Structure 1
Amino acid sequence: MAPMALALILGWWVVAASVAKKLPPPSLSLHPSQGVSLGGAVTLRCHLPQSAARVEFYKEESWGPVKQEDVDMAQDVAEFTLDGVKKEDAVKYCCQYRVSKPRGTSELSDPVELVLTDPNYPPPAISLSPKEPVETGANVTIQCCNGEYKGITFLHKDGLSAPLQHQKPDGGGTATFTLFEVTPADSGTYRCSYRIGGFYLLSSPLGENVTLEVTPLPGSQGDSGWPHGTLVAAVAGSCAAAFAFILVLVASFLLAARRRRIQSPGATPRSYEAVQFQVPPADSQALTYAELQTLTPSTPPPGSFTTPEPPTIYAEVGTGGPH
């Protein structure tokens, strides 16, 4: 009996362990994600990939649960708010969840850092080179100086939640960041901060800002991938070609129709009528009038293909002599 009970216990443990490994980990986020000052508030949100019964938040200092919360089965986010944050709260956090049927525990989420801004540290200075607008493809240098504190320096761009770059400053407390082959997308406002170091994640306030302006190259391509001038020329050329093609088609159609009428066996030759026109005098011996009379060709008998004689034109011209 004892061996059977032991086998059942071992089997249950193996099943529980396999279920726990199959549970996908949650993800953790901070709101706000940066700029939280000592004494402020921050909310930790644990995003659940599936239904859970309980969510636990862990703190790096002890890696023990700092908050346990029962959640509704339809809930996909669990929140934990820290009010009046202290220096000791500036550490890493993670979360995990538990399910009841079948029982299991997920893996821990990736840790997130709660960085607190400490106003006791002065903001760093910043400089931009070159200061004037630059063209696309140029290299730009941004220097941040934190003086004697010499903490890890971070480069920030307004509108982005995470720092762009970070590096350890030189012996004088200056960190040099280079933006290679900038584009108009690099235009914006930049600032610096530095972290003091040590176990707690404390940062200086953001320093003064510099503004980078990147101008596009002449004739640079737009969103469609075509240069503006090239696109206009291409459209104009296409329209002209289409118009000329239509004219050729119309002319060909009319010419073919004319030839069919001329070559038709049953067509009746056109009659010529008398034409009378008055010609204004050009000098003392000007024409008074001219009358052209033509003979209507006789209609050939059916089935005859005799070429009609050219019409005979009679002209009667009167001139006035000098008086």
Structure 2
Amino acid sequence: MEFFLRKAGHPNLQVRTVPDGTVAEFPIANVSREDGGSYTCDYRSIADQSRTSHPSDPVEIIVGEPSYTKPSISLSPSRGVSLGGNVSVWCRGQRQDVRFVLNKEGRHFPPVDSDDIEVVFPISNMRREDGGSYSCSYHSRSEPFAVSYPSDPVELVLRAPAPGSAPARAE
């Protein structure tokens, strides 16, 4: 088999020939900012080069950018939120004009552009699955694959509502 590694937006591809195997490895030594990006791979038979695979699902390589100071993260309110309530997740970096990303396993939040050094991610109508550990990171708008290291995590604690009380609502 002949395997091909393709990086989106780059004409050069890497090729590995594996005569009697089904796995090819494409090591990246001395990773730099330029190595970040979206990659796919595909393969074809060496004997019958007209038989090629479909491209793989893409995988993104994100490169931690040491010059981007790790952001801080905080919650308001900070002592827990009732089911149905609202919380604001504040993420603060050291650079202006960046795109912030809120991270939580199993949940996707749209990135937010900020002209300032901080941004707020509002979460309303809290559900059980909203509880857990959150972190944030940021990157330059022009270099989306060079990202700050994530903030230290913050734990969003859900409190049970007081008996007979209605859940908090946004005004």
**Is the structural similarity TM-score above 0.5?**
yes
Query: Residue deviations 1:257-299, cap 9 Å, x none?
Result: xxxxxxxxxxxxxxxxxxxxxxxxxxxxxxxxxxxxxxxxxxx
Contact 2:2–2:43, Cα closer than 8 Å, also in 1: yes
Q: Distance in 2 between matches of 1:71 and 1:60?
A: 27
Partner of 2:31: 85
Contact 1:139–1:178, Cα closer than 8 Å, also in 2: yes
Once superposed, which parts of structure 1, at least 4 consecutive aligned residues long, lie more than 4 Å away?
none
Q: Distance in 2 between matches of 1:145 and 1:178?
A: 14
Query: Residue deviations 1:17-46, cap 9 Å, x none?
Result: xxxxxxxxxxxxxxxxxxxxxxxxxxxxxx
Matched residue count: 162
Q: Distance in 2 between matches of 1:163 and 1:149?
A: 26
Q: Distance in 1 between matches of 2:43 and 2:140?
A: 34
Contact 1:55–1:71, Cα closer than 8 Å, also in 2: no
Q: Distance in 1 between matches of 2:116 and 2:144?
A: 24
Q: Distance in 2 between matches of 1:183 and 1:189?
A: 14
Contact 1:153–1:166, Cα closer than 8 Å, also in 2: no
Partner of 1:181: 125
State the one-letter code of the partner of 1:172. Answer: D
Report percent identity of matched pairs: 28
* 1:64 pairs with one of 5, 8, 12: 12
Q: How far 1:129 moved relative to its partner? A: 1.0
Partner of 1:121: 68
> How is 1:106-117 mapped onto 2 (pairs within 5 angstroms)?
106-117=53-64
CA separation of 1:78/1:91 partners in 2, compared to 1, >3 Å: closer, same or farther?
same
Q: Distance in 2 between matches of 1:136 and 1:200?
A: 34
- Larger Rg: 1 or 2? 1
> How is 1:223-262 mapped onto 2 (pairs within 5 angstroms)?
none
CA separation of 1:78/1:89 partners in 2, compared to 1, >3 Å: closer, same or farther?
same
> How is 1:272-291 mapped onto 2 (pairs within 5 angstroms)?
none
Contact 2:84–2:125, Cα closer than 8 Å, also in 1: yes
CA separation of 1:200/1:154 partners in 2, compared to 1, >3 Å: closer, same or farther?
closer
Contact 1:138–1:180, Cα closer than 8 Å, also in 2: yes
CA separation of 1:146/1:199 partners in 2, compared to 1, >3 Å: closer, same or farther?
closer
Partner of 1:143: 90
The alignment's TM-score, normalised by the length of structure 1, stands at: 0.45
Q: Which has the higher contact order (CA 8 A, sep 6+)?
A: 2
Partner of 1:97: 43
Instruction: Report the aligned-residue RMSD.
Output: 2.6
Contact 2:65–2:148, Cα closer than 8 Å, also in 1: yes
Q: Distance in 2 between matches of 1:123 and 1:216?
A: 33
Q: How far 1:204 moved relative to its partner? A: 0.7
Contact 2:98–2:114, Cα closer than 8 Å, also in 1: no
CA separation of 1:193/1:165 partners in 2, compared to 1, >3 Å: closer, same or farther?
same
Structure 2 counterpart SS, 1:189:
strand
* 2:80 pairs with one of 133, 158, 165: 133
Q: How far 1:214 moved relative to its partner? A: 0.6
Gap regions ≥5 residues in structure 2: 164-171
CA separation of 1:166/1:194 partners in 2, compared to 1, >3 Å: closer, same or farther?
farther
Structure 1 counterpart SS, 2:152:
coil
Instruction: Write 1 or 2 for the structure with the bigger share of strand.
Output: 2
CA separation of 1:199/1:144 partners in 2, compared to 1, >3 Å: closer, same or farther?
closer
The alignment's TM-score, normalised by the length of structure 2, stands at: 0.79
Q: Distance in 2 between matches of 1:134 and 1:199?
A: 35
Q: Distance in 1 between matches of 2:30 and 2:44?
A: 29
Q: How far 1:218 moved relative to its partner? A: 6.6
